[in-house]
Chains A and B, each alone.
Chain A
Amino acid sequence: MKDLIYKEFKLAIHPTCYLFLLMGFMLLIPNYPYYVAFFYQTLGIFFIFVGGQANNDVYFTTLLPIPKRAAVKARFGIIVIIELAQIVVSIPFAVLRNSLNPAANQAGMEANAALFGLVFIMFAIFNLIFLTMFYKTAFKLGLPYVFACGAMAIFVGAAEAVIQLTPALKIALDTLDPSYLPQQLAVLIFGMVVFTLVTVLAYLRSAARFEKIDL
């Protein structure tokens, strides 16, 4: 697996993935829907697949002496690494924003632990829809991405609506007040658990689909 991950970094990763990591700086914007900073990276991941298609990655990889599902596992591996990196890179920007400008974000959730928990769920939805749909054909990219974006938008819209319209949630989650940190950490942990379970499920389904298709 180590060699396949190496291959993903050496050949498959798209340079925009590194560029989009810097989108974490958007958390410095005083009033902004901060999910957008993370959404950009799904575009970077999409570009990995576009590049893969143009470069016949699927043939290069599946002709190596590896089990076919290992190719899927490695691709999931690099995507999870990128998604986690996106979150990790954003943390200092969130800390900086909140210490520089403690005023409330008028455009949505504060850049707090709960936001990161919701971002984990957003990435989980992306992985489930985009990757399992893609591995049905290992070729068609457009529709899976459109569906994944649609589902992420619905999730973000619904999460924001519920939090903003439910006073108890708004008070506890959409705030920088440290006394609500336990509630926010609960959302973060919940998001991490959802991310892990859903991504593993997405991998299992994708690998099973990929093994069945004729290339």
Chain B
Amino acid sequence: MENGRDILSVQNLNKSYEAFKLRDVSFTLKAGTIMGFIGRNGAGKTTTLKAMVNLVHADSGSVQYFGMDLQTREAEIKQRISFAFGGVDYYLQKKLGTITGVYKRFYDQWDEKAYENYLKMFALDPNKKIKELSQGMQVKYSLALALSHYAEILILDEPTSGLDPVSRDEILTIFEDVVDGNQASILFSTHITSDLDKCADDITYIKNGAILFSEDRDSFVDSYRLVEGPLDRLTEELKSVIMGFHQRRGEFSGMINTRDLKMAPGIKCSPADLEAIMVHMERKA
């Protein structure tokens, strides 16, 4: 797969529930990249991901993988992608070997040798039951399954939530190796911004069911600045462009778009990180 080419394209997905709406969700994933799909709990991450594999039926919009439409070529597409909720949350009482024995029958490209290598690499014992695996090991097992049938896109819903920092780092390093070794591209959702600091090339940010941004991480981070200063230096003009405005004891703080920097002469400005951006975006005025 030639790197940089769009291999997944989500266009104008809409889905209405009684209390929640997915609104015109669009983004694209490029080959050879890791995209972090970020948003707070309930923002619509899982619904979007489910709609991308037909677990949820969108009211309108389209999803294309490798230029093929999901609605008409679902089985073919699923041969070439992998989707997992967290790690492995099914058949917890069964042994890895039993599940693999069933799973592999469905994939034309299954490579037993590669699978055995991944088991060794990830120190997975096929005689263990799924429930005996730690959460991090479950994620590894799900990656071993996906990579052994040469899935070209891995879609993972919150693979790092609930992992300790060391396991999280380990999983993210595996993600980097997978992408750098040209094995697959990865789209994973998370609300842990440090995951993205570490390994994401691109970021898609969803808020209240709508995509706020989908762009490369560095320019995304660079487009915001944190501002702080005494309230008496705050102009009306500046206040109108501040996101996540906060004031206390005569001081104010918040975040502005980098293009608005000219409105903050003499105000202390500093680079924002992803966590700060997320917090300021979501903070209620």
Binding site for B on A (CB under 8 A): 3, 6-7, 10-11, 55-57, 59-60, 62-68, 212, 214-215
Contact = CB atoms under 8 A, between A and B. Distances in A.
Contact of A215 (B56, B74, B105): B56
B89 interface: yes
Interface in B96-134: 98-99, 101-103, 105-107
Interface string B58-92: 00000000000000001111110001110001111
B90 A215 contact: no
A91 B78 CA distance: 44
* Max count, chain B CB within 10 A of own CB: residue among A6, A60, A68: A60
A5 to B, nearest CB: 11
Nearest to B85: A59
Contacts of A66: 75, 78, 106
B92 A55 contact: yes
25 contacts: A3-B102, A3-B106, A6-B102, A6-B105, A7-B105, A10-B101, A11-B102, A55-B92, A57-B91, A59-B85, A59-B89, A59-B90, A60-B90, A62-B54, A63-B78, A63-B84, A64-B106, A65-B76, A65-B107, A66-B78, A67-B75, A212-B57, A214-B56, A215-B50, A215-B56
B53 interface: yes
Interface in B16-71: 50, 53-57
Contacts of A63: 53, 55, 78, 83-84
A28 B161 CA distance: 57
B50 A11 contact: no
Given A11-B91, A56-B89, A59-B90, A65 B75 contact: yes
Contacts of B75: 65-67
Contacts of A60: 90-91
Contacts of B5: none
A6 B104 CA distance: 12
B93 interface: yes
Contacts of A67: 74-75
Nearest to B82: A63
A101 B78 CA distance: 59
Given A55-B90, A55-B92, A62 B55 contact: yes
B198 interface: no
The 6 closest A-B pairs by CB, nearest first: A65-B78, A60-B90, A56-B90, A3-B105, A215-B55, A214-B56
